Every structure is written in C-alpha cells, then in structure tokens.
Structure 1
C-alpha cells in the first residue's frame, strides 16, 4: 500500500458522495488518534450500542456534542453510564467544514456539532443504515484511522443493490451530501493489521461528523 505505482485519485462515488484518499496527513492522524483515546475514557466513554431488537453493534462507539442512540439524540449517555455527553470541540467543527469543502467545494457554513466515533476490531462490521436522525441536510464527514476497511455506499431507497464498495485507508476522507445525504451505507469488512506502522493503532477508528440542526 505504501509503494503503489499510481497515486489514488479523488473519486465521486455518487452525486454528492466523494472519496478523497490520504486527506489527513500522518501528523494529523496521530493528533486525532490521541484525541479519540481521551474521548473514549469514561465517563460517557466508549460503549457497546444495543439495538431495539435486543442485539448489539459489533463496532463500539463514543459520542461528542450529542449522544446518539437508536434512533435519537440526547445530552447524556442514556444507554451507557448516564453521564453528560462530552463537549464537541470547536477545532473539530472547523475540521469538518474544511473536509466538506475539500470534497464538495464551497458549502454553506454548516455548524457541525456531533461526532460519532466508532471503533472496529478485526471482527466488527456495520450493517447498511442511513444517517437520518438529524434535522439538517448538512453533508456527513467521515474520517478513517487505522486498519483499512471496505465501505459500502448504496442508494437512498433500499439497503440492497445498487451499491459501490470503496476501500478506505487511514487518513482517507469520505463526504456525502446533496442527493446522497440519506443514502444507505455500511462496513462489511475490516482488514486487520493494515494500519500504518507509525500510527500505533490496532483496529479501525471512524470519526463521523454531523450537524444536528438542533
């Protein structure tokens, strides 16, 4: 992966859905990882998400700004330890705005105020779902750290085909807005042991930034 003949190019996977490889440099990845480790500590730290049907998500999660639970938002970790959700830092909102512009061009000044940080070990997956609990159509910003994954990006009408599988590596950016804002997407596979050697992370972190509109 570190010695490819051709550089990976920016790709519009669907209208309004763009993959920007290697957007976050190595130093930025290390800084973001350090912040994620702080956020994952209790209270309101990394937790296992339980679904309404009684199952559990295999990717574990911590939230900033607003606490997401299936299928709503709260100011406390209502399905965790009940502690107040950790604050969403201004610098992370600015990172979200810069990322959205890097992928989609000039945007309205959306107020990013939610981060969902998912940790995947080698066996974790994420089923096809839509990010539809917000009250705004601001583009969703997704940053990857650590192990490479298959990111499946689908359509707005069904969890089934058509969809496109995209390989997301550490430092990659994926943004979806406009006509693709409410498309189904998921992670069917993670490739263990593929994180950059200098990062110091076993597993994958996905930092998803959203604007709540609340």
Structure 2
C-alpha cells in the first residue's frame, strides 16, 4: 500500500484560513475608507481586548469609538432577531458587554457597537401576537425611528419585545435607554447600538 502524500504547498493552510475572512476584511476596509473619505478617522484598533465581541475592528472617530463584530455567510440566510439576540448565542449580552467595556476604556464621549451581517431579517417569525410582527418589520421600524426614547418605544406595539430586551440586557433602566435609543440600522444590514456617556448627547443620525 502506498502511503498518501500531502500535496498542500507551504503556507496553503494559512491562505485557506484567511480566505474565510475575505468578506470581513472587505467590510472593515469599507468602514475605514468611509471614515477616511470624511476626514474623520483618528485611529484604528484591531483585536482590541477592551472591545469584547466587537473587537474585529474599532474605529476612533471624532468624539466616538465604534466597535465592530462581523458575521457573514457565504450564502446569506434569514435570521430571527429574537433568536439572534436572546437565543443560545446570547448576542444581546455580548453586545452589552462589549459596549460597556468600550465605554469604560476609551475617552470618547460616545460609544457605539455594530453587529454587521449579510444575513436577512425574516418575515416568517412572530415577536408579538399581531399582524406583521416579524423581525423584518421590527428592524424596519427600528431604522426609521431610532431616536425614540425608551418611553416612546414602550408606547408602541413593540413594548413586550422591548421589555424582553431590557430584562435580558441586565442594565439599569437609564443605561439600557442610552444603549437602545441611540441605536440605528445602518445600510448593509448593520445592526448598531450607540450610547452617549453621562452629559453627552446621543447622535440622531
């Protein structure tokens, strides 16, 4: 019996591993380029230990530190926002931890954590017992009215889901409000949560 031979050339394993990060690198490069184009980039952090799960890329912008967590799929698929944030993966708590750590370790007035995915919010789940109460509907409204206060969100039909997020975040009410209510949906299915420190004003864009 002939022994099998390894035909992989030197460095091929490393190159194969890096190919899995191509889309992440492209997204990171796009974020850096956008900041440079606007003459807003002060510094760049990679594998920033203070950023928790948002350590893929941290950008220092005027008055703001922005951490990024990239999660891309070769073949984009539908996701449920409740399962993503509150399910087994526990993404909400991971984002809260990253946001809290960045806020404590960086001197910028504003801290923002972005979860970037090329997956698509589903229209086949139910966050409430209502018509059009799916993930896509919630995220669409979250994008359109991201400057709502917590009390304003609680006055909408999404109040039960907002309450779930608040309880799961384990944040004091005031901190949860700044975490959530400065949040925004950015193009390319980027879920972003921002928060101003005490005394600073959250962004409205």
How does the TM-score come out when normalised to structure 1?
A: 0.28
Bigger relative contact order (CA 8 A; separation at least 6): 1
Larger Rg: 2
* TM-score, with length taken from structure 2: 0.29
Q: Give the number of the structure whose residues are more often strand, by fraction.
A: 1
Structure with more helix by fraction: 2
